[in-house]
Homo-oligomer: A and B are copies of this chain.
């Protein structure tokens, strides 16, 4: 009997009818001869509603209390799903993160899973139960509830699949899978049948938003195949795994983009050792992640330093850059919040010279100016004007013939 771990997101269990729909899907998987463990997120907007309650009574709610509060959202949906399964005649039981044996560190609101003791889950499976686990949560050594932060329920599902040695982990969501580009922007975008872990990671980080990178990473480390598919349709979805066929390599898989980008340039920086370190240490100290960094070579030991950050970090970053620029003797500094990123992604891209040229040509043909370029093994990213990002995605999707993916 195969063991399958499934995860359903908040939009898939947003109301009673949708919960019944999910219960029917789970029942079918069970009737097909599988043992099933299902991880479930909080219903629809529950988490936001709970956060609002918290901010009604406190400007900076205790993170320990916030975690207990938020964890109730997933407990509610897990009990309802177990009830729904029973009303369909299936044996089922819900377990909280604590009951499921999910032990985490003490970092409230962004806890990391330390280990899973699946004793209770196994016991319930052996009794013939479909086990519903409240996602997004665990307990620390003090037996206090913690939550896993963004992508928490995806992480719960993959971690349980690893711990239970499941055949596969299925992530059901409100999209049909991973596309060659955002289908809301490129109408010809095609759903991928499969994608490698690393490509998926680049797609996620660069805005595909189908599944949290953290859960993909976990799947990659332990080699668990992850299926991403729609909870509303019976379509095959996208399988994320490591064994991508030879034909799948050296080929652009998809176009990713990100509009939450701002750019800061510090002009006329003295080209001395330690200057860049001073800047980025100060930003890191304020919790600001710096993404692309470009330093323009210069004559006369003077350089211009440009880097990108999340648009939402621009205010705090400028607060740091302002005194710093004076301190290091820079000539001036400028910021631009009107930029965006567009990336082509595919295994082996960096080692195949033609891709970069093809990308730049496609963009130049649309008169899109490239401000910065950054690359990884499997990705080439251009920073361009924000209002040209959609045009860029469409042009690249066409240039790399992704509609035939």
Contacts and interface: CB of A to CB of B under 8 A. Distances in A.
A66 B53 contact: no
Contacts of A84: 57-58
B86 A79 contact: no
A54 interface: yes
B68 A96 contact: yes
Interface residues on A, range: 35 or more
Contact of A58 (B56, B68, B86): B86
Interface in A42-97: 50, 53-54, 56-62, 64-66, 68-69, 72, 75-76, 78-84, 86-87, 93-94, 96
A118 interface: no
B87 A57 contact: yes
A57 B72 contact: no
Interface string A251-277: 000000000000000000000000000
A84 B76 CA distance: 23
A16 B56 contact: yes
Contacts of A62: 82-83, 86
A19 interface: yes
A20 interface: yes
A10 B66 CA distance: 20
A23 interface: yes
Interface in A90-115: 93-94, 96, 99
A54 B68 contact: no
A95 to B, nearest CB: 9
A93 B61 CA distance: 12
Contacts of A81: 57
A280 B348 CA distance: 83
A231 to B, nearest CB: 16
A40 to B, nearest CB: 13
A91 to B, nearest CB: 10
A1 interface: no
Most buried by B among A53, A81, A83, A144: A83
Nearest to A20: B57
A54 B72 contact: no
A274 to B, nearest CB: 42
A65 B130 CA distance: 13
A246 interface: no
B96 A53 contact: no
A325 B89 CA distance: 39
B66 A79 contact: yes
Contacts of A221: none
Top 3 closest pairs, chain A to chain B, by CB: A16-B56, A58-B87, A57-B84
27 contacts: A15-B56, A16-B57, A19-B57, A23-B57, A53-B76, A53-B80, A54-B79, A57-B81, A57-B84, A58-B84, A59-B87, A61-B86, A61-B87, A62-B82, A62-B83, A62-B86, A65-B83, A65-B93, A66-B79, A68-B79, A68-B94, A68-B96, A69-B75, A69-B76, A69-B80, A69-B83, A99-B143
